[in-house]
A and B are shown apart, each in its own frame.
Chain A
Amino acid sequence: MNKFFTILGHTYKNRVKSKSFLITSVITVLLILALSNIQSIIEMFGGEDEQKEVIVLSENEEWTEQLSQVLNLQESIAVSSFSGSDEEAKTQVEEGEYEALVTLQEGGEGLPEADFYANQIANTSVSDSVRQALQQVKVSIVTERANVNEQVLQQITAPVSFELIALEEQAKSQEELNQTRGIVYVMLFFMYMSVLMYGNMIATEVATEKSSRVMEILISSVSPVSQMFAKILGIALLGLTQFGIFILAGYFSIQQSMESEGPSVLDIFGFTEVDPMTIVYALVFFILGYLLYATLAATLGSLVSRLEDAQQLMVPMTLLVVAAFLIAMFGLGAPDSTFVTISSYFPFFTPLIMFLRVGMLEIPVWEVGLSLVIMVASIVLLGWIGAKIYRGGVLLYGKSSSLKDIKTALELSKKDN
């Protein structure tokens, strides 16, 4: 047991002191700071405050009047009538005097038609506003002609009242769903990142020890099983440290940005009122998911004899994570589809998909329990197989690093008694 902690401590200390740990931590903390202060950062560049001036060229004074009335309600756009010629107006826009030019002509049935000129038409915020305003003008002209009074018009355009109410008492309400969606997003992201990052780290650790041949000394001192799990837990501790730093950084910077005004990132992701059970589930699935993938990574790492081959052998694992990620993305929109339900029992998908189902739907406890049992069973099974492969794999040196080696590794570790 002592040796177990020696390896665990060694793995952890070595990694914490490494440059790569420092760099990834600093970069991520900076990202978190940037993200939580995104509002202030956007404001700092101040692009939104500037009024966009739009000129209107029209034969019909009344339309211009109506259009500018509607548009001037929005502070960001200022409309003015232009008295020069068509060409002059375009030149002015080209020279940047004005943001855009709108020309109004009379089309069929005496209704306005417009052309919108701007230097770039990729940004549609101004053109959309103008289009909507012109639509309003058109509607009011038509209704006026048909003698429809103001009240009727309002009734026509008012949005219908439409609310989603789940009949099952336990089902999630609309707001709850939005909140869960937010946390599922974050969880998906964390899961994906950490499995890739820490999984790779474990595989690299094992492959480094193999390529430097220190493994031969290590396995004559400590059993491969303790080595493997000490490594997995050491890297897990490292992950906790790193996430601890991230959470602290996030917490402080969000607090700071909350002191200023506006909706914080927390509100956007719906973190303010989360069911505590969801957090518990998130933790449980996260830990189990990590253990499962980490065991797989250690097993794969023990099969290669050179560091360069480690990346290659990690591909199947990466594909599993990506598949889980894609299914989860699909599942956010349709959490109750059969496909999602079935895949939530596949252990490598469970941590993401089952968590998504728990968060989004009200599913019976036994289903969650079953998926947890399947996961724990597969961790134990994979750990058992992994330890065997590890034991044989670490003695296996060769050019190839194919999955065929698994068989050879198992044969090497075979116990006759």
Chain B
Amino acid sequence: MTLRLNGVTKRFGSYTAVDHLSIEIPEKQIFGFLGANGAGKTTTFRMILGLIDQTEGDISWNQGKIGYDQSHLIGYLPEERGLYPKLKVQEQLIYLSKLRGMGKKEAVHEVGKWLDRFKVPEYRHKRVEELSKGNQQKIQFISAVLHKPKLLILDEPFSGLDPVNVEMLKEAVVELKEAGTSIVFSSHRMEHVEELCENVCILHKGTPVVHGGLKEIKRSFGKKNIRIKADFDTSFLRSTAGVTSYKPHSEGCRLQVENEEVAQEVFLQLQGKGFVRTFDLEEPTLNDIFIEKVGASYE
């Protein structure tokens, strides 16, 4: 079951929130959906979920529009935490999964399984407001996946989590993908996206500016990074033609160059200046691409 967005546009009055977005997300794939704050990601999710209607274009999944009759196949983790603060964890999860068409018995079983997996079985009968932010996020994640959805939308799923817990949730996400779920993954943490997604789309003010497989995107981006560690001052490299950015650090510098030829030129210039500990030519990171395309930094 492939999710297809074709020329999807949403206008609020004269303001265009999403402009001609076309993406395709097949089964068993995690699709990275990126964009600055206010770029139109949440609006897109809401259109996919059928909460608001697009002004133009079509969205189809499972041979049709997504409606309430399919809500048991869809999981949604919104960016803002959405749980009843006063309800106990198990009660809450059972209620939400019943609304997604799950039976109570099965829900109780699954709740136990997930709480154990995330190493928080003791929270079963605690109220959500008593939990820490990170643990609330785990519960939020469970509420999105408990009913075994076929299409899962994850909007900043790892926010507020420590590195150990991020790994735990990442594993779960990958496992869901392997089990055949299409996952739309949105995050500002580029390293997570790079790790999980094969295909990405970067949205800038409602318009897709980058779209495709991560490898192709990096290749076609052209620019590369050079990491240098040297025992002498490398700041003269700043003026080399083709170097687009220069960032010094304690033991050397990090350069962004236009292409491999420039990298070779840089390498030549280092000759005879002293001892070079590291010269590393790297593929551009998604972070570089994002900053270049969207023109703003987040981290």
Partner-B contacts on A (CB < 8 A): 2-3, 6-7, 10, 14, 208-209, 212-223, 391, 395, 411-417
Contact partners of A412 in chain B: CB under 8 A: 12, 52
A217 touches B95 (CB 8 A): no
Asked whether A222 and B82 contact (CB < 8 A) given A411-B12, A416-B55, the answer is no
Alpha-carbon distance between A230 and B98 when the two chains are bound, in angstroms = 15
A7 touches B46 (CB 8 A): no
Nearest CB to that of A217 among chain B residues? B82
Contact partners of A416 in chain B: CB under 8 A: 53-55
Most buried by A among B52, B53, B82: B82
State the 4 A-B residue pairs at the shortest beta-carbon distance, nearest first: A213-B82, A221-B99, A214-B82, A213-B80
B71 within 8 A of partner (CB) = yes
Nearest CB to that of A415 among chain B residues? B53
Contact partners of B96 in chain A: CB under 8 A: 217, 221
B187 within 8 A of partner (CB) = no
* CB contact between B82 and one of A7, A10, A215 (< 8 Å): that residue: A215
Nearest CB to that of A221 among chain B residues? B99
Min Cβ gap B48→A in Å is 10
Q: Produce 1/0 per residue, B71-110, CB < 8 A to A.
A: 1001010101111110100000001101111000000000
Nearest CB to that of A7 among chain B residues? B99
Nearest CB to that of A214 among chain B residues? B82
A216 touches B99 (CB 8 A): no
The A contact surface, by secondary structure, is helix
Nearest CB to that of B52 among chain A residues? A412
Min Cβ gap B193→A in Å is 23
The B contact surface, by secondary structure, is loop
Nearest CB to that of B129 among chain A residues? A212
Nearest CB to that of A414 among chain B residues? B53
Q: List 21 A-B contacts (CB under 8 A).
A: A2-B101, A3-B101, A6-B98, A6-B99, A10-B95, A209-B84, A212-B85, A213-B78, A216-B78, A216-B80, A216-B82, A217-B76, A217-B78, A219-B51, A220-B50, A221-B68, A222-B71, A395-B46, A411-B13, A416-B54, A416-B55
Contact partners of A413 in chain B: CB under 8 A: 52
* CB contact between A218 and one of B50, B52, B54, B99 (< 8 Å): that residue: B99
B143 within 8 A of partner (CB) = yes
Asked whether A212 and B95 contact (CB < 8 A) given A3-B101, A223-B68, the answer is no
Alpha-carbon distance between A6 and B49 when the two chains are bound, in angstroms = 21
Contact partners of B46 in chain A: CB under 8 A: 395
Alpha-carbon distance between A217 and B82 when the two chains are bound, in angstroms = 7
Given contacts A212-B82, A212-B83, A221-B68, 17 further A-B contacts (CB under 8 A): A3-B101, A7-B99, A213-B81, A214-B82, A214-B83, A214-B84, A216-B76, A216-B80, A218-B99, A220-B50, A221-B71, A221-B96, A221-B100, A411-B12, A411-B13, A413-B52, A417-B53
Nearest CB to that of B92 among chain A residues? A214
Min Cβ gap B40→A in Å is 14
Contact partners of A219 in chain B: CB under 8 A: 51
Alpha-carbon distance between A29 and B74 when the two chains are bound, in angstroms = 47
Contact partners of A216 in chain B: CB under 8 A: 76, 78, 80, 82
Nearest CB to that of B128 among chain A residues? A212
Contact partners of B50 in chain A: CB under 8 A: 220
Alpha-carbon distance between A218 and B78 when the two chains are bound, in angstroms = 11
Alpha-carbon distance between A392 and B80 when the two chains are bound, in angstroms = 18
* CB contact between B51 and one of A2, A214, A220, A417 (< 8 Å): that residue: A220
